[in-house]
Amino acid sequence: MDITATGVTRGIDDPRRSQQSNWETTLQAIGLGAQPIDIIEPQRLTDINLDYLEFGDFFQGQHSIWVWCFGVEHGGVFEEGGDPTGRLQQYFEQVPIISGLDETARFMLPIFYPHGAIKNIYFKSGMRNINNI
């Protein structure tokens, strides 16, 4: 999903506003469990081979992805059932998103989905270097 942080907060039919809306939605979903701090805004990486990443089987081949990083004040706040990002995945499950922007993959539904064959978002705990996905 295109979560480019454009800073555009007004306007109708402006793709930059839709990109910013997706970024705002991302931050709001994180905020369900903790206030994100030390945010590194999303960076778009192009021509990334998804076969080596943790996306669902529906997403394969070369595509653009967006990576970002954030911290929280309390360790373990997103832990669920031994998974350090379990609650974070729950917060993002089926959250509506605007598609048809600069993403190269196509989605069955315009939602974040962190599980199974249509998994289009995933999280890594403890990563600080977004250049090492």
Q: Please report the pLDDT score of residue 53 as a whole number.
A: 94
Q: Please report the pLDDT score of residue 126 as a whole number.
A: 77
Q: Please report the pLDDT score of residue 92 as a whole number.
A: 97
* Lookup: tokens for 129: 């270097």
Residues near 44 by Cβ (< 8 Å), separated by ≥ 6?
Answer: 2, 4, 64, 65, 66, 102
CB 118 within 8 A of CB 108: yes
What's 43-96 look like in SS3? EEEEEEEHHHCCCCCCCCCEEEEEEEEEECCCCCCCCECCECCHHHHHHHCCCE
Neighbours of 75 (CB within 10 A): 11
Domain boundaries, the chain: 15-118
Per run of 10 residues, the mean pLDDT along the chain (length 133 residues) is 96 95 97 95 95 93 95 92 95 97 93 95 76 55
Q: Please report the pLDDT score of residue 125 as a whole number.
A: 85
pTM of the model: 0.90
